Chain A
Amino acid sequence: MTQSIRKAISVAVCASALGAGCAVSQTETQSGAPLARQIAQSAHCGLVAPGHIHLASADDVDRLDALPGRMLPLASLRSVQFSREHVVLAALGQKPTGGFSITLAGAKIIDDELVLAVDIREPAPGMMVSQALTTPCAAIAVTASGWDDIRIAPVENNR
């Protein structure tokens, strides 16, 4: 994806999902790299509660080995260079069936706050889905600098 396209998407996401205050936001790093990129996703992350976790080091990734019920592959998380990027796990919490997912849609920094726009999918009413409980999450690599807070903002309820 070219840089110009990426910017356009970021602005669009901002306009549609993040609301006002976008005009002064930052949508890429000073070197032109994306602020965030999705590196993994699983329906069985083992994170029963909704929320997010910030992984600031390779040691943090290793600690995920202790997470009961985790099926999220850690290889892509371990490949991150933590001097340049951190990892955020955005979790939906426990869901009753298959068909749920969370995916990165865009990112920007507003007033030292890194806002990760996520696309949350859930089964439409009447859709046929598997009947095992799931714990969906997305692993997102984010720039390591230029922000102090993280906020996860759903863009839309995309059925």
Chain B
Amino acid sequence: MLEAVAEMSAMDIMLTPKTLFKKAASAATFLMLAGCGGGGSDSDLQSVNVALSGFIDIETGTRVDADNADALTLNSTPRSTAQSLPQEYVLAGYVSASDGVYPSIPDFPSFAYAADPSDEFSMSLRTGQSVELQAFGTREGASALRLSLSQGGGEVDSATTNSSASQISVTNAGGDGTSTVRVESQGPTPMLYVLSTAVNASRQARSFDWPAHEFVEGEAIVVLEASPDPASAQTMMAQANMAAAQELAPGLWRVKAPVQAMAASGQSAQVATLDWIRSLKHQPGIESATPNYRMQTMTPVDEPLYGAQQWHYGLLNGPTAWQLAPNAGSNVTVAVMDTGLYRASSGNWHQDINANVISPLPPGTDFVSEQFDNDGQPGRDNNPADPGNSVGGSVYHGTHVAGTVAAVVNGSGGGGVAFESTLLPVRVLGDGGSGSSADLLAALQWVSGPPSGQPRADIVNLSLGGLPFIQSLQNAISNATNRGVIFVAAAGNSSTSTESYPAAFADVFAVSAADGAGELASYSNFGTWVDLAAPGGDASRDGNGDGRGDVVVSTSVINGTEETYIGLQGTSMAAPHVSGVLALMKGENAALDYEDINGFLMAGDLTVADCGSQNCPRTDQLGWGLLDASKAASAAQATPIRDLLTATPAVVSLSSEGARTANVALEVYGDNPSTVTIRSVSEPPDWLSIDSAPASTDSGTSFDISVSLNLAALEPGVSERTTIEVEYQGDSQTRTLEIPVVGQQVTDQQARDAGRHFVLLVSPEPEGGFFSTEAQTNVVAENGQYRFVFEPDDGVPPKELNEVSPGNYILVAGSDLDNDGLICHGGEACAEYPVAGLRQEITLSAGNPIEGIRMTTSYSRPSISAASPEQLPRPDFQGYQLLSPNPDATNVKALSQP
């Protein structure tokens, strides 16, 4: 979006005082909202020293002049060598022919600027590619800037700004290669500028390449034009040169080729099969004939979202678990008692779970009573479809939960933990995700099955909570448990140790939430009643260091009908990981019940723990520990598998601005591994080199593969994906280990830098043309991102700059590249919460820290259009003032005093 609002001179971005200072930042009093509900009373795990914290993302391609005036206050020597830039970027810089002092502002300290007559940048430019410069004056005034482009020591183009042209460009006419771009001051005043290359709008990430499917020789899948009875169909097929093998659905048959069709051609079996299938298409009564594709054994590792976003599966050792439990939960039914599932007007469920939803649906799966119901059919009925909320948007909570359990592995989106299990949707939560204990009780009694029959589910996921102890619910759960049902529930999100039911009931596995580092999420409940932890996400943290907040990505729907994946956080997201892993276990060993699982849990067989012969310790935060799907899958085996080769990392990601090489450790799984013999390692594509790998006869329990990226074979900005296949022989059989590898040239995420940023909380009402700054902190970019924290004012003098009192504020941040004590004017980076040009008044109240704030900083500004005469420009806006220096503070900017 920010790209779309670029191209506007920030000097032109203005608003009349009335609208800017009154309407856009009106004096709301919203204090009561901050305290309304939510949260627990136990604060020993809360961030007690945080009043407001968050992240500032940096717009794509952003770089900063290394010797800007702010940087020169810390290191007074201008850079003497050219600064390297990527091929596409947007950079803000500073030049000044001499040093000096800015004109004073009443009640504001004087600021000085340093001399830096010119800047040089080195970059690779394509023939015909242009470099653009936009000049910005400072409080000293405006001077001309000269922009030049050189190649091989000779200048090939130049341009100079003047009073009527602040935007100029130079073009590379000298051929592809390294160019030097120089910006020179042509006058007496310091100047800011923004330098950028034109963005190639056609650059879009391509889909990953997938290997072609194999098919079963001598077989085909045919669709008949009519649906005759089986006897007639078999007769018809025999006349059409095929033999019926299996009726898959009415009119849909798996057929075999006659022996003579395969033998007579003299060709390979595959070619003969395809020739035969082509002939079938011309037979009367045949609508279509396709090969019987042999689907490779795929797991969620092979899904597009796995490497990029679904960190939560790696955290629980999913890739190894899916090798150990190849049934993937097949023949295991998981009831998701929740808001129901999204159902399209076609009657299908969300496309990435549809194939795993039980069919036909048993009657009576919507238990929401009239008080909470909003599905247009008040009261309990047979349709567990989630209607969304009665007013406004919904994220389809139950659909998200169900996707984590059992999203289908199909080459799109992501897969669930137990991607072959069966989903039984049971609707117990109505409008807004709320419901009654009576409805839950009815559902629990129903799922335990009729007295003389079987339970209706093997596992029940309860991503809901907030109930007190209710004996009738406990009785229903215990009764169902005695009949073999296993219950998993979310521990709750109130950062409290107070028991939340149903999680705290006996015979229920209570699941707390972990972030990307496996630590307890900031919001998660904890306590003696928590059994184990699983990934639930924490958007306020980046525990796994991937540059993103840790949210759990799963199936959802936005804008009413758009089936997609979104990230959510909560113990609601943690519980289905456990339910999925239990389904994996039941898929390997159907006899497992609650007592068996609980025994494994307490022995450390389900969690990340290395307890040796000792009893594993449990903690109130993570219970018996963080879920480990691989150990769980291993524990479920009737006969331990001792010859399974695993890869660490499970997925290799290489990029030009990240790791270009990687070492993959191959180890036979388990404490008592058997020796395996390597049969082969597949050949990589040209963009990948396998620098070392085990030979085809090597035997052992551990091996190494080293790979490196061939950047020249990659198209910039395009992700490529391949799979290294390692075939090996163990005690029992020949297996293939697949190691997905992703390669990409140029991802500038980690290199983004918009200069040192000052983060301010300013008063919503301006005084004397400036918003009054009440608190301030400064941050530098780390891995392409800024992180900031404001602390609550402890009342102990001196008041630190980053301490803030309860009240209403506007949150802004930006760079001070010309060192004039003002941020966010033209030529400087600026962020406003929640988005630039839209300032929300934030209410801070005592004891209610706000964490996980996110905003984006950029040199671009909101654009003006005829449709927004009132919002823009901001004629009197001069920037936000940094706080005056305080000799007792520890967090103040190093102000330059004349």
Q: B850 touching A53 by the CB < 8 A rule?
A: no
Closest residue of B by beta carbon distance from A42: B393
Complex: A99 Cα to B572 Cα, angstroms: 14
- Contacts of A71 on B, CB cut-off 8 Å? 393, 395, 558, 566
B393 to chain A, nearest CB (A): 4
Q: Which of A43, A132, A144, A157 contacts B389 (CB 8 A)?
A: A43
Q: A57 touching B871 by the CB < 8 A rule?
A: yes
A122 to chain B, nearest CB (A): 3
Given contacts A132-B568, A151-B27, contact A98 B434 (CB under 8 A): yes
Chain A contact patch, size range = 35 or more
Q: A100 touching B37 by the CB < 8 A rule?
A: yes
Give the total of B residues in contact with A, Cβ under 8 Å: 97
User: Scoring B residues 369 to 412 as 1 if CB is less than 8 Å from chain A, else 0, what string do you get?
Assistant: 00000000000000000000101111101001000000000000
- Contacts of A55 on B, CB cut-off 8 Å? 838
Q: B22 touching A148 by the CB < 8 A rule?
A: yes
CB of A26 closer than 8 Å to a CB of B: no
- Contacts of A72 on B, CB cut-off 8 Å? 392-393
Q: Which of B23-37 contact A (CB under 8 A)?
A: 23-24, 26-30, 32-34, 36-37
Give me 25 A-to-B residue pairs in the complex whose CB atoms sit less than 8 angstroms apart, sorted by A's number: A47-B834, A50-B843, A52-B840, A54-B23, A60-B868, A60-B871, A63-B837, A73-B392, A73-B560, A98-B429, A126-B467, A127-B466, A127-B467, A128-B434, A128-B437, A128-B465, A129-B429, A130-B338, A130-B464, A131-B464, A132-B395, A132-B570, A149-B27, A153-B29, A154-B36
Q: Which of B36, B428, B434, B856 contacts A66 (CB 8 A)?
A: B856
Given contacts A49-B843, A97-B433, contact A123 B37 (CB under 8 A): yes
Q: A49 touching B850 by the CB < 8 A rule?
A: yes
Q: Which of A84-137 contact B (CB under 8 A)?
A: 86, 89, 91-103, 120-123, 126-134
CB of A48 closer than 8 Å to a CB of B: yes
- Contacts of B433 on A, CB cut-off 8 Å? 43, 97-99, 129-130, 132, 134
CB of B842 closer than 8 Å to a CB of A: yes
A88 to chain B, nearest CB (A): 9
Q: A52 touching B841 by the CB < 8 A rule?
A: yes
B547 to chain A, nearest CB (A): 13
Q: Which of B4-48 contact A (CB under 8 A)?
A: 4-5, 18-19, 22-24, 26-30, 32-34, 36-39
- Contacts of B870 on A, CB cut-off 8 Å? 56-57, 144
Closest residue of A by beta carbon distance from B852: A48
User: Scoring A residues 136 to 153 as 1 if CB is less than 8 Å from chain B, else 0, what string do you get?
Assistant: 001000001000111111
Q: A43 touching B38 by the CB < 8 A rule?
A: no
Q: Which of A17-45 contact B (CB under 8 A)?
A: 38, 40-44
Q: A128 touching B429 by the CB < 8 A rule?
A: yes
Q: A100 touching B33 by the CB < 8 A rule?
A: no
Q: A73 touching B836 by the CB < 8 A rule?
A: no
- Contacts of B551 on A, CB cut-off 8 Å? 69
Complex: A144 Cα to B870 Cα, angstroms: 10
CB of B862 closer than 8 Å to a CB of A: yes
Q: Which of B339, B428, B440, B468 contacts A126 (CB 8 A)?
A: B468
Given contacts A131-B493, A133-B569, contact A40 B871 (CB under 8 A): no
Q: A149 touching B22 by the CB < 8 A rule?
A: yes
A interface with B by C-beta (< 8 Å): 38, 40-44, 46-60, 62-69, 71-73, 75, 82, 86, 89, 91-103, 120-123, 126-134, 138, 144, 148-154, 157
Q: A132 touching B29 by the CB < 8 A rule?
A: no
Nearest 9 A-B pairs (CB), nearest first? A98-B433, A41-B392, A57-B868, A130-B433, A122-B37, A132-B570, A96-B493, A131-B572, A66-B1
- Contacts of B863 on A, CB cut-off 8 Å? 59
Q: A95 touching B37 by the CB < 8 A rule?
A: yes
- Contacts of B490 on A, CB cut-off 8 Å? 131
Closest residue of A by beta carbon distance from B440: A128
Q: Which of A41, A91, A130, A131 contacts B840 (CB 8 A)?
A: A91
A121 to chain B, nearest CB (A): 8
A123 to chain B, nearest CB (A): 6
- Contacts of A58 on B, CB cut-off 8 Å? 865, 867-868
Closest residue of A by beta carbon distance from B858: A66
Complex: A72 Cα to B395 Cα, angstroms: 9
Q: A133 touching B523 by the CB < 8 A rule?
A: yes
Complex: A60 Cα to B837 Cα, angstroms: 7
CB of B351 closer than 8 Å to a CB of A: no
Q: A65 touching B1 by the CB < 8 A rule?
A: yes
Q: A63 touching B1 by the CB < 8 A rule?
A: yes
Closest residue of B by beta carbon distance from A138: B392
B interface with A by C-beta (< 8 Å): 1-2, 4-5, 18-19, 22-24, 26-30, 32-34, 36-39, 52, 54, 338-339, 389, 391-395, 397, 400, 428-429, 432-437, 440, 463-468, 490, 492-494, 523, 539, 549, 551, 558-560, 566-573, 575, 808, 811, 833-843, 850-854, 856, 862-865, 867-872
Residue among A57, A73, A148 with the highest chain B CB neighbour number at 10 A: A57
- Contacts of B34 on A, CB cut-off 8 Å? 50, 93
6 additional A-B pairs beyond A63-B835, A153-B29, beta carbons within 8 Å, are: A59-B868, A101-B432, A123-B466, A132-B433, A132-B573, A133-B523
Given contacts A49-B842, A59-B868, contact A73 B559 (CB under 8 A): yes
- Contacts of A148 on B, CB cut-off 8 Å? 18, 22-23, 26
- Contacts of A89 on B, CB cut-off 8 Å? 840
Q: B862 touching A63 by the CB < 8 A rule?
A: yes
Closest residue of B by beta carbon distance from A59: B868
- Contacts of B54 on A, CB cut-off 8 Å? 48
Q: A154 touching B32 by the CB < 8 A rule?
A: yes
- Contacts of A41 on B, CB cut-off 8 Å? 389, 391-393
A105 to chain B, nearest CB (A): 13
Closest residue of A by beta carbon distance from B491: A131
Q: A82 touching B867 by the CB < 8 A rule?
A: yes
Complex: A97 Cα to B397 Cα, angstroms: 11
Q: A68 touching B867 by the CB < 8 A rule?
A: no
Q: Which of B5, B27, B465 contacts A59 (CB 8 A)?
A: B5
Q: B24 touching A56 by the CB < 8 A rule?
A: yes
Closest residue of B by beta carbon distance from A66: B1
Residue among A44, A58, A154 with the highest chain B CB neighbour number at 10 A: A44
- Contacts of B394 on A, CB cut-off 8 Å? 42-43
Complex: A126 Cα to B539 Cα, angstroms: 27
Complex: A51 Cα to B811 Cα, angstroms: 12
Closest residue of A by beta carbon distance from B436: A128
Q: A49 touching B833 by the CB < 8 A rule?
A: yes
Given contacts A67-B834, A98-B434, A131-B571, contact A52 B30 (CB under 8 A): yes
Complex: A38 Cα to B570 Cα, angstroms: 29
Closest residue of B by beta carbon distance from A114: B26
Given contacts A59-B865, A151-B29, contact A44 B395 (CB under 8 A): yes
Given contacts A43-B389, A97-B433, A98-B397, contact A75 B559 (CB under 8 A): yes
A135 to chain B, nearest CB (A): 10
A133 to chain B, nearest CB (A): 5
